[in-house]
Amino acid sequence: MDARDYVIVGYGGIGSGVLEQILQCAEVEKVVVLSRSAHRHADARVQFRQGDVSCAESLAHVFAEVSSPCCVINTIGLLHGDNILPEKRLADVRKEALLRSIEVNTYSTIALAQAIEQNFSRKQAVSLVALSARVGSIGDNRLGGWLSYRVSKAALNMAIRTVSVEWRRTRPLNVVVAYHPGTVDTGLSQPFQGSVPEGKLFSREQAGNYLLDVINQLEADDSGSFKAWDGSDIAW
Ligand SMILES: NC(=O)c1ccc[n+]([C@@H]2O[C@H](COP(=O)([O-])OP(=O)(O)OC[C@H]3O[C@@H](n4cnc5c(N)ncnc54)[C@H](OP(=O)(O)O)[C@@H]3O)[C@@H](O)[C@H]2O)c1
């Protein structure tokens, strides 16, 4: 894939890791980062915009700043926080936590796909890569638990597949992909790192590197797929 401009949504562990990797590429002209908080970066190619992904106006401002071909990477996600803890059992599930998980983990990518349609013409090539998680795979679920997170990521995967089918017909230059980064040393995974086998906890830098490698190898036929950090396909 040939992108000179990038949009990164969310500036957490993986968002910041992938930004640093993108900036290593001399051909990259601009990276706009949308975050709820204010940030600064020494590289003049980086522009931070403060705002919420569910605000169409914020997204219109961000997309007005980039040219195609470009790649939009959604790195926002919620596993714990906001009075939410991943559930150990069915009895732990609360409606508010489930709906909040869907809002952050599922709706954010749907809002981005809609904003891409509204702000780019069909002749402009735009790729949308959304950070999903292997635990959102229905076929791979043997352990159970984490119901809200799993449900919201499985719904994200279905949204991506559904958008890909529509875009194949209406916007063949657009690509949309779900991506699993592996287990990465960030605030999101921090409380659960105890059970990670040695060598399987990636640094933010490694995670950014793997993500950019997969993005660089994306082709039109990959639209609607669920990729892992090593480029392999994950069962839906
Ligand atoms: N770390 C892992 O091991 C791992 C494994 C599998 C999948 N993932 C997925 O990878 C993505 C990135 O995760 P990460 O590890 O980088 O996590 P992180 O460091 O916690 O960053 C996640 C970002 O999501 C945004 N966010 C969090 N809660 C939000 C809320 N309630 N409303 C709106 N935005 C919210 C924040 O962006 P701003 O504050 O900048 O707006 C935050 O910086 C997530 O989708 C996650 O599910 C991570």
H or E element at residue 161: helix 147-170
- Alpha carbon nearest to ligand 1 atom 29, residue: 78
Of 93, 218, 226, give the one whose Cα is nearest residue 153: 226
82 pLDDT higher than 90: no
Domain ranges of the chain: 5-228
Q: Ligand 1 mean position to 104 CA, how many Å?
A: 9
Whole-angstrom distance, CA of residue 196 vs CA of residue 230: 17
The 10s digit of each residue's pLDDT in 168-203 is 999 999 999 999 999 999 999 999 999 899 899 999
Q: Ligand 1 mean position to 204 CA, how many Å?
A: 12
Q: Ligand 1 mean position to 11 CA, how many Å?
A: 8
Q: Is 35 in the pocket of ligand 1 (CB under 6 A)?
A: yes
- Alpha carbon nearest to ligand 1 atom 39, residue: 36
The 10s digit of each residue's pLDDT in 102-142 is 999 999 999 999 999 999 999 999 999 999 999 999 998 99
pLDDT of residue 152: 98
Q: What is the CA radius of gyration of the chain?
A: 17
**Contact between residue 129 and residue 71 where contact means Cβ atoms under 8 Å apart:** yes
List, in sequence order, every residue forming a beta bridge with 177; answer none if it has no partner.
Answer: 129
Mean pLDDT score across all residues of the chain:
96
CATH 3.40.50.1100 fits 5-228, yes or no: no
Q: Is 133 in the pocket of ligand 1 (CB under 6 A)?
A: yes
DSSP SS3 for 151: helix
Tell me the mean pLDDT in the region 211-221: 96
- Alpha carbon nearest to ligand 1 atom 6, residue: 133
